[in-house]
Structure 1
Amino acid sequence: MFAARLKQLRKKRGLTMQELADYVGVAKSTYAGYESGYRQPTIESIQTISRKLRTSADYLLGLTDDPQPPVQPNHNAKEYLNYEQLHWDGVPLQQEDLALIRSLLERLLRDRTLPKDE
């Protein structure tokens, strides 16, 4: 299944074997072996290939039939604190509140990185 999906997606994306081999950092003959099923790529190569083909490693490996990679949620608190309409349990947070929260978090992280006196 891996070899067939690899070849199908490469062609769908309009890439040559040489282009994908160069991107992965392997010889064209090595990459051709992946598509024929003669060779097995490393985990790192599978990850690299899936990025280039804009799919998931799970799809290439046959663990899912959905070729679209799942969207990873962004959990960066700094970005959340820049939203205009944040609330805490339904109570709107004002810009002053958000500024205070940002400064507290920055202080917390700064204190964490300071060297500890022994």
Structure 2
Amino acid sequence: MAYGERISELRTKMKLTQDDLAKRLGITRAALSHYEKDRREPDYETLERIADFFDVQVDYLLGRTNDPSPSVKKEKPVNRAFLELPEDVSEEEKEFLQAQLDLQLEIFRKLKEKNSKQ
């Protein structure tokens, strides 16, 4: 399976539109569409962001392995904002929310850095 199919499959499983995922990754929807249709290859930094977002190995995206699980589980401290979550939020949901928060923070910092250079 080509990387485009894998990205599309992962995105669909999370019920995200191309626009949603592109915004979360800090790329254009057109670029994501090209990646999903194998018309263009993402650079390594973008591949890493995609892999981190979906919590899979880059090798899985590249088709080198069929095991999507990350090779190394990163332990991250729980953000204080998570102390106010409803009691019925699962650990899996907390991990998803933490990954989203981390990604958004990274995007914000890059945009802030870019704007300060202008």
Bigger relative contact order, structure 1 or 2 (CA pairs below 8 A, ≥6 apart): 2
1:72 Cα deviation after fit: 4.1
Structure label with greater radius of gyration: 1
Q: TM-score, normalised by structure 2?
A: 0.58
Question: 1:21-32 maps to which residues of 2 (within 5 A)?
Answer: 21-32=22-33
Question: 1:4-83 maps to which residues of 2 (within 5 A)?
Answer: 4-72=5-73
CA deviation string 1:48-88 (max 9, x = no partner): 011111211110001111011123488xxxxxxxxxxxxxx
Could you say what secondary structure the match of 1:40 adopts? coil
CA contact (8 A) 1:24 1:48 kept: yes
Aligned length: 74
Which runs of 5 or more structure 2 residues have no equivalent in the other structure? Answer: 76-118
Partner Cα separation in structure 1 for residue 13 and residue 45 of structure 2: 22
Which runs of 5 or more structure 1 residues have no equivalent in the other structure? Answer: 75-118
Q: TM-score, normalised by structure 1?
A: 0.58
CA deviation string 1:11-49 (max 9, x = no partner): 112221111111221111111000011111110000001
Question: 1:92-103 maps to which residues of 2 (within 5 A)?
Answer: none
C-alpha RMSD over aligned residues:
1.6
CA contact (8 A) 1:50 1:56 kept: yes
Partner Cα separation in structure 2 for residue 17 and residue 7 of structure 1: 9
Question: 1:97-112 maps to which residues of 2 (within 5 A)?
Answer: none
CA contact (8 A) 1:2 1:60 kept: yes
Higher-helix-fraction structure: 2
Percent of residue pairs identical: 34
Partner of 2:4: 3
CA contact (8 A) 1:20 1:49 kept: no
Partner of 2:80: none
- Divergent runs of 4+, >6 A: none
CA contact (8 A) 1:50 1:57 kept: yes
